[in-house]
Structure formats: C-alpha cells, structure tokens
Chains A and B, each alone.
Chain A
Amino acid sequence: MNRHVPPHVAAAEARSSGEGGLGCTDVVPIKERGQHEVFCGLTSIIWLHRKVQDAFFLIVGSRTCAHLMQSAAGVMIFAEPRFGTAIIDDRDLSGMADMYEELDKVVDRLIARRPDIRMLVLVGSCPSEVIKLDLGRAAQKLNARMAPDVRVLSYSGSGIETTFTQGEDNFLHALVEATPKAAPDAPRQLLVAGCLADVVEDQFARIFEALGIGNVHFLPARAAGDLPPVGTNTIVLMVQPYLTETAKLLTRRGADVLIAPFPLGEEGTTAWLKAAADAFGVPADRFDAITMAGRERAAKAVSLYRERLDGKRVFFFPDSQMEPSLARFLSREAGAEIIEVGTPYLNKAHMAPDLALLPGSVRLAEGQHVDKQIDRCRADDPDLIICGMGLGNPFEAEGRTTKWSIEFAFTPIQGYEQAGDLAELFARPIGRRDLLQVEV
C-alpha cells in the first residue's frame, strides 16, 4: 500500500514530536490478552441498517445475539427494524432440521413481509461460525433464486473474529467483493470508504465538488445497489480507521488507498481533505480558498470547549478503533493530556499519521485485559474516562467522570461542522461534574 503523506502532515508530524521524532509512532503498545469488554461485530448493524435503507441484515445466530442487538440498539423504538436474528435452536443442531432449508424458510417469510428489501445480508455469528454453517454458500444459492430483485450477501460479525466496528469492515468488504471490476480506462474516481451520517456525507460531497473532484462515491451507498465498479481508476479515502480488510481488498483491486489522519477536528479534517485534493491535483490556493471558512468555523466551535478540556487527563478504553484519532484531536485541538489510548486492534499503517501527531508520552494498549486496565486507570486517576457502557456507572460510583465510548460511534463527529460537537461530547461530563452539587 502506498503511503501518501500530505506535506503539511509531515510538517505537523515534525512539529508534534518536539525532538523531531515521530510522536507516538514508535511507542510499543501494551498487548494484552484477558477479558475483552468490547462488543462483537454484530453491533455495527445498528448504524449500517440505518444507513443502507433498502437492506435487511439477517443475523444467523443465537438468542444471545438477538438479545445483544436489542440491548445495544434499544430495538423497541422501531416496530420493525431492518435487522433481525434467525435463532438457531436445538432442532437445527441435532440435525432434525436441515439448517439451510430452515434458513430458506426464514428468508422467504421475511421477503414476503418486507417487499421493500433490495439487499439481504446474511450475517454470521459465533454459533454459525463454530458449527461451520456456510453462509457464503447459502447467499449464493439464495442469490441464484432471488436476484436481481433482491441481492444476497454474507459476512461475519461474530465475536470470535470481530470486535464492534470490524463488523462494518467485513460488510464493506462483502460489498466491494460484489462490485464489478472497473475497466482499465475508466475515469478516475474518489471512493470515500466508511459509514458516515448522511448530513456529514453531504457536507463532504459539497466540499469535494467545490474542489473540483467530481466523480465521488461513498461506501456504503444509501441504496444498496449504488456502488460503482472499482479498479485501478479508484482513489480510496478512508473516513473510518477500522477498514483493514476493506482496504486490503481495494488495494488488491488496484485501487490507491490514501493514508491520512482521520477527519476529526479542524486539523484532521483538513489533512484528510488535503490527501484527496493532492491525489486529484487540486491547486493549493484553491484548496485553501475552499476549506478556509470551514476551518475557521471548526476552530471557533472547538475553542468554546477548550477551557474545559485544556490540561485534562484522559484515559481511553478500547472500543471502536477510533481511539487514536479521537485522542489526537483531544490532545492537539483541545489541549488535553492523553494518558492511555486503548484500542481493540491497532492498524499501524492506517493510524500512522494520527499516531505521529500524538505525544510520545502516550501509553498505547492493544487488545484488552479489562481487570488490569481498570487497575491502571484507577492508579492514573484521570479526569475523564472514555469507556464502554458496562464500565461507566461503576467508575462514576467511584467518583470518577466518564463518557460512553459508543457515543463517538453513534454521533456525527467527522468534518468541520461537527468539530464543535465532538469537543462538546468530551466536555459535557466534565461540565456536568462542575455543575452538580450532589455527591455519590
């Protein structure tokens, strides 16, 4: 994979490290193996099904999978969300029922009830993986029967293979796999990879257009079928840091995957846009002219919260793989001191620009041993802990201040116009602590 580091990022890298080193680049992460307290990949369906509006995600799993989804997604608010679980039962396991036939029946009933569905996604779980249920084959057979009315894909979101956001990675991988290869002489196109809130996607689309980068596609598209052929004509700009498998596949397809800081905050967004601008040969003065207003607005919006965040010591538990980028934003634009950045998986290549911008004093942790990490966190006694929903209240009860990490995955935080919202997410619990006159 080629590493395109935009010039001003290289400059920032040099700046950040004081001694002319590369920030956090050479910090050796603590690699831990113990209890992981992170969701499995199924959970990314929560935003995927909202994004791809004509797709249905059918998990083939257990009652646990169904219960996870309803607990994490607050499913009651949707009478019929576009996801569900085909629960494997003991009849299936004992061989009394043929599982592929059972699945066929479930699918038929589902499609009969939801004729609006254009793409059916079979999602593998731990049980389906362990019993080696071949969902790829099932998808193929269903496809033969139902395409082109309904296209059928499959991927695994199982907890034995994926954490949280890796589910999206596997889904996008499956989407790309299903797209045709672009002709060698096809016009160049920009593919922005990774789920974004529609509002953010629209903002970015407007900026790319203003920059003169005309041929832009987003992965995933809002309608399942709207993905262009992908090949050597494609420049990929990842908007999310967790797309390891998708990026590998795109590279194999001959696409050029840009490496840039992720678009969080003013600095990240500018560097990220710049990577695309450079790849498409946008003149520097045009780039500055187009991005100036956004940069100023972002800086101004973040400055409103700077006072609350400046000098605050922050500890990140692993969750979405966005942690290094979030920490970079918090450190460089809000003046926070980052104690530990936990991440379920550290893709050093994709994260290189962000890591370079983090101070060398940051402790990196990959994987998890939750008890040991809790001990470290207590010893560090940070001002703010970014952690999962299972840990938040127990830490609060100890008198600590926390923020649910999942909010960073669910809230639109990318781009200039959301930079203030991002800062506010971090600042709110701190402000609330100052405000409240109740002790626990």
Chain B
Amino acid sequence: MQLTVWTYEGPPHVGAMRVATGMKGLHYVLHAPQGDTYADLLFTMIERRKQRPPVTYTTFQARDLGADTAEIFKTACKEAVDRFDPQAIIVGASCTAELIQDDPGGLAKTLDLSVPVIPLELPSYQKKENWGAAETFFQLVRGLAGGRTPEPKPEGAPKSCNILGPTALGFRHRDDVTEITRLLGALGVAVNVVAPMGATPHDLTRLPNADFNVVLYPEIAGTAAQWLKRTYRQPVVETVPMGVNATREFVREVAAIAGTDPEPVIAEADERFSWYSRSIDSNYLTGKRVFIFGDATHAIAAARVAQHELGFKVCGLGTYSREFARDVRAAAKDYGVEALITDDHLEVEDAIVAAQPELVLGTQMERHIAKRLRIGCAVISAPVHVQDFPARYSPFMGFEGANVMFDSFVHPLVMGLEEHLLGMFREDFEFNDGAQASHLAALHAGANHETIATPEARTAPDDKTQDVVANEGMAASFGSLSWTSDAEQELRKIPFFVRGKARRNTELFATEKGVNPITIETLYDAKAHFGR
C-alpha cells in the first residue's frame, strides 16, 4: 500500500483507452464502475477531442455484485456493437472488475459477435498506463496482423514503413507524426500505416505489408514492433528522431534500410537549431545546469540535446518509466549523474532542490515545482495538460522538432544580454530583485497556490519561508557553515538567478579550505577560484 497524492501515470486501462481513442473503428468495452467514466474527460477536455472516446463502461453497482455483473457486461457488449458498428472490439476490466473476476474476454466470446474480439488482461494492481497502452497495442497487432502473408510488391515500388506508437493524449504525437511522415517522404519512403493513431483495425491487418517499422514511442510500440520483427522480419528503426543529431542518425538509419541517399535530405533540412546554438549570443548557455525528468524516451533525448547540442550541463536525469529504468541509468552515467527512477513527485521535488538547476525540463508536475522554486522550465513529456496541445504546429521530432526545442529550452532562461544588464544594474535603486524576471511573469507561487516549497518547509506552509528559500537559490546545503552578515549582504547583491550557484560554490570552497564563517573575502576568493 502506497500513499499517493499525484501520479505520473494512470491505471493500465487508461493506456488501453489512449490506444482505442487514437484509432478509428475500434470500440472498447470496459467492465468498470461508474466513477471510472471520468477518464472520458481526459480526452474531451485536455485534448479537446470532438468525439467521446469509443468506450462503453458497464457501470455495475454494488447491488449487482454476485448477481448479474456478467449479464450486465454481455448486454453492454452487445449494445456497443449494435450502436457503434466497430470493425473490432477490445474488452477488459478496470481495477474493480478485475477483483470480481467476470472474465470479459470469455463472456464476449459467448456472444457470437460479428466482429473480432480482442481480450485484454491488464493487471491494475501491478502495472500502469504506458504498460497498458503497450500491451493493448501489442494484443491488437498480434490479433489482427497475425497469420497474414505480406502482399507482394511490384518491382521498383518505393520502400514503405509503418510509423508506430502515437496515441491519443500523447505529448506532441499529432505533430510528430506529420513531421516524420514529411521526413520519410523526402527520403522517398512511403508510409504504409500509422498506428495506433488514425488507424482502423483493418489497417492493422495491413501492417505486415511494410518493409520496416519506425518506432516513435518505444514505451507504447516497443513490444508490438519486436513482435513484428520476429514474425515478419520487419527491421525496426531504433533511433528516436529527437534533436538535431538524433534526427540525422534517424535519416541515415532509414536511408540505409530503404537504400536511398540520406545526405541531400540532411543538407537541405530546414533546421535553424545548429546555427542558433553556434551563434555567439548563445555563449551564455554554456554550462547552464539543467534537471530533466519525464518518460524515458523524452528524458533521454532531452538530455542529449541539452548537453551536446546546447552546451548545458545535465545536473539531474530521471524517469517515472520503470520499464525503461536501465536505459535512463545508462544515459545518466554518461552525464556523471545518478538516475532518479521514481513515480513519487515529492522525491523529484527534493532532487530538484538538491541539484540546484537553472532550468528544469520535465512534465507538467515539474513545471509546477519549478514555478514554486522560481526556476525556468519547459515541458518535454507526458502526462499532458491542455497546454501541451498547442493550436500551432509544434512537433518535438524531426528538424522542425529541433527548432521547437531550441525555442522552448532557451526562452525560459534569462537572455544573455539581459543577464549582463541585470548584473550591471543590480545596485540600482530601481532594480528590485524581489521582482520577477520577465520570463517568469506567469509565476504565481504563493498567491493562488497552497504550496509548500521545500522539504524543510513542507510541514509549515508559510509563504515567507518559501520565498526566502526560493530567492536564496535554496537552502544552504552545508549544514554547519555560517555566513557573516556582511557576506550575506554581499550575496544578496548577486542577481537571484545565479545566487544559488554562487552560494553553493562559495560553501564548497569554504568547506574545502576549512573556512568558517564565510566572509566577503571568502565569497570573492571562491569566485576567483571557480570562475564563472
């Protein structure tokens, strides 16, 4: 039993809903109590979908237990097929129905429905949303694409691939698919099927016709792609095209399978990221400390972009995707940090406080944490929020995705020149460093939020503690050290967004040199020692 206030992932049947809702012509009959229908609003509100998710809930009640819950399931199943006329249905149980063991798959089989029935076993007390999505997609692919013979292709036909992984409620999936389809088109590769998003059950039967598979989201399509590889010998393009370099590698990997020339596509890419990053005004980005947390794929990709393509310093990397913990641990090792594998957002918050980053790349939860701590932040991963479905085109993958990442990773930081000016005018009486930097204008920590900023302050929800702690770039990490009041004064003159770093470096220096208390001298000695 685990105390949970907030979770990064919903239950596994919500993953199944993401697959079903992304598809067309598929219906999901879910044995579940009425409250579980809340999941509909995720799709109609967060993603602003125009249709209800294709899900029928049996909404059995206590008085039905032990009497006729199975009958209720059968009725719901029949009615759903009659009303929605799907090409296939998936059937399964939510957490409560799992306990009453009605066996939706077996019940549906007794109904002699006119459409294929794919039963799902999603252990609710063990697994979570992404696993549920992966398992559902795998069962659909196996059930519908199994036992087929790929259609022979006419001589000289272009190579074709499937794009696998996008679902409803995915982080930027809509635009990633557009971007990658375009990129494949430029390489002369035809897209056979995109699935689950946009595909019908009938389309899934055509999956074996493709020459290879592109997996955009391994969390969702990894299992299915491996099965297709084993069954139909379809190679899998493993590189996830996120960031300039990964996109180039992706293009080359696809080209190698398709037997085309990648270089013109790379040379002609409409990509501004590389130049912007090389541009002299980006010098100030060097060594910016960035903390990264999200699903494994997005977290690993964001870390690579941050460190190797923007020159940041990855000071923390983690994921809530336990299934992919090993990959994230390996990546973290490259950056000399220890991977944080957790689904407890309070632990993530503690890690952020300890790492003292200047930028946080995370989920909506990390965005809120960063806001409270007054650190710039960009969202890079699900779980999604209505803001993650922007009206404009904004993929995270491909070359345009790299452009989007440049903007979203860099804008939250104080712009380089602005930083100099702030430094120059910090003594100016009009300069009030309690005021927020312009990029944090949306910040409303304290005011509207019942927030508690740091672990120490958590038991005392006091805005003042929180502000002070946040302004100081977080609490002193070296317990026994003290600062003279002059040194504290001097520290306050340093702009708030580098103050945390200054404090940390000074304390580190003082500890090494055995200086205590810290004086103005120590502060400047440390500055000289570390440089900027």
The residues of A with any CB-CB pair to B shorter than 8 Å are 34-43, 58, 60, 62-68, 70-72, 75-81, 83-90, 92-93, 97, 99, 102-103, 105-106, 109-110, 113-116, 126-127, 129-131, 158-161, 163, 371, 388-394, 397, 440
A-B contact pairs, 19 of them (CB 8 A): A34-B59, A36-B34, A36-B57, A37-B37, A39-B37, A39-B38, A41-B35, A63-B95, A67-B7, A79-B372, A79-B451, A81-B450, A84-B3, A85-B3, A89-B126, A103-B1, A160-B62, A392-B44, A397-B51
Identify A87's interface contact among B2, B40, B76, CB under 8 A: B2
Identify B56's interface contact among A35, A39, A70, A115, CB under 8 A: A35
In the complex, whether B42 has a CB less than 8 A from a CB of chain A is yes
Do A130 and B100 contact each other (CB < 8 Å), given the known contacts A63-B128, A393-B45? yes
Do A71 and B42 contact each other (CB < 8 Å), given the known contacts A62-B124, A126-B33, A126-B35? yes
Which of B1, B42, B99, B450 has the largest count of A CB atoms less than 10 A from its CB?
B1
B41 engages A35 (CB within 8 Å):
no
B3 engages A110 (CB within 8 Å):
yes
In the assembled complex, the CB of B501 is this many whole angstroms from the nearest CB of chain A, namely 25
Contact residues in B for A64 (Cβ distance below 8 Å): 10-11, 13, 36, 94-96, 124
B99 engages A130 (CB within 8 Å):
yes
B50 engages A90 (CB within 8 Å):
no
B11 engages A62 (CB within 8 Å):
yes
A152 and B13 alpha carbons, distance in the complex (Å): 33
Contact residues in A for B233 (Cβ distance below 8 Å): none
B33 engages A109 (CB within 8 Å):
no
B450 engages A78 (CB within 8 Å):
yes
Identify B11's interface contact among A37, A67, A86, CB under 8 A: A67
In the complex, whether B364 has a CB less than 8 A from a CB of chain A is yes
A35 engages B58 (CB within 8 Å):
yes
Interface digits, B31-72 against A, CB 8 Å rule (1 contact, 0 not)? Answer: 001111111111111001111110011111110010000000
In the complex, whether B393 has a CB less than 8 A from a CB of chain A is no
Contact residues in B for A393 (Cβ distance below 8 Å): 44-45, 48-50
B62 engages A129 (CB within 8 Å):
yes
Identify B34's interface contact among A38, A106, A109, CB under 8 A: A38
Which of B50, B61, B65, B123 has the largest count of A CB atoms less than 10 A from its CB?
B61
A69 and B125 alpha carbons, distance in the complex (Å): 17
A113 and B460 alpha carbons, distance in the complex (Å): 10
In the assembled complex, the CB of A237 is this many whole angstroms from the nearest CB of chain B, namely 30
Identify B449's interface contact among A77, A93, A159, CB under 8 A: A77
Identify B52's interface contact among A42, A105, A394, A440, CB under 8 A: A394
Residues from 110 to 152 in B contacting A, C-beta threshold 8 Å: 123-126, 128
A35 engages B83 (CB within 8 Å):
no
B34 engages A163 (CB within 8 Å):
yes
Contact residues in B for A97 (Cβ distance below 8 Å): 1
In the assembled complex, the CB of A371 is this many whole angstroms from the nearest CB of chain B, namely 6
In the complex, whether B276 has a CB less than 8 A from a CB of chain A is no
B4 engages A87 (CB within 8 Å):
yes
In the assembled complex, the CB of B457 is this many whole angstroms from the nearest CB of chain A, namely 10
Residues from 446 to 467 in B contacting A, C-beta threshold 8 Å: 448-453, 458-459
A207 and B524 alpha carbons, distance in the complex (Å): 66
A391 engages B65 (CB within 8 Å):
no
A56 and B214 alpha carbons, distance in the complex (Å): 48
B3 engages A106 (CB within 8 Å):
yes
Contact residues in B for A86 (Cβ distance below 8 Å): 1-4
Contact residues in B for A388 (Cβ distance below 8 Å): 41
A92 engages B1 (CB within 8 Å):
yes
In the complex, whether B490 has a CB less than 8 A from a CB of chain A is no
Identify B41's interface contact among A71, A81, A131, CB under 8 A: A71
Residue of B nearest to A99 (CB): B1
A88 and B62 alpha carbons, distance in the complex (Å): 19
Do A389 and B44 contact each other (CB < 8 Å), given the known contacts A126-B95, A130-B100, A397-B50? yes
Known: A85-B5, A158-B62, A160-B62. 20 other contacts (CB 8 A): A34-B76, A37-B34, A43-B35, A62-B124, A63-B4, A64-B95, A66-B5, A67-B38, A68-B36, A70-B6, A76-B368, A86-B4, A88-B1, A90-B123, A113-B458, A115-B459, A130-B65, A158-B35, A159-B35, A393-B44
B1 engages A102 (CB within 8 Å):
yes
Contact residues in B for A35 (Cβ distance below 8 Å): 34, 37, 56-59, 76
Do A390 and B37 contact each other (CB < 8 Å), given the known contacts A64-B94, A85-B4, A161-B61? yes
Residues from 7 to 42 in B contacting A, C-beta threshold 8 Å: 7, 9-11, 13-14, 33-42
In the assembled complex, the CB of A112 is this many whole angstroms from the nearest CB of chain B, namely 9
In the complex, whether B79 has a CB less than 8 A from a CB of chain A is yes
Residue of B nearest to A90 (CB): B125
A84 and B4 alpha carbons, distance in the complex (Å): 6
A60 and B1 alpha carbons, distance in the complex (Å): 9
In the complex, whether B365 has a CB less than 8 A from a CB of chain A is yes
Residue of B nearest to A40 (CB): B35
Contact residues in A for B126 (Cβ distance below 8 Å): 89-90
A93 and B99 alpha carbons, distance in the complex (Å): 9
A244 and B52 alpha carbons, distance in the complex (Å): 32
Do A390 and B61 contact each other (CB < 8 Å), given the known contacts A90-B125, A93-B125? no
Contact residues in A for B59 (Cβ distance below 8 Å): 34-36, 159
A62 engages B95 (CB within 8 Å):
yes
Contact residues in A for B9 (Cβ distance below 8 Å): 63
A80 engages B458 (CB within 8 Å):
yes
Residue of B nearest to A392 (CB): B44
Contact residues in B for A42 (Cβ distance below 8 Å): 35
Do A63 and B3 contact each other (CB < 8 Å), given the known contacts A160-B65, A391-B52, A393-B44? no
B452 engages A76 (CB within 8 Å):
no
Do A79 and B50 contact each other (CB < 8 Å), given the known contacts A35-B76, A391-B44? no
Which of A92, A163, A371 has the largest count of B CB atoms less than 10 A from its CB?
A371
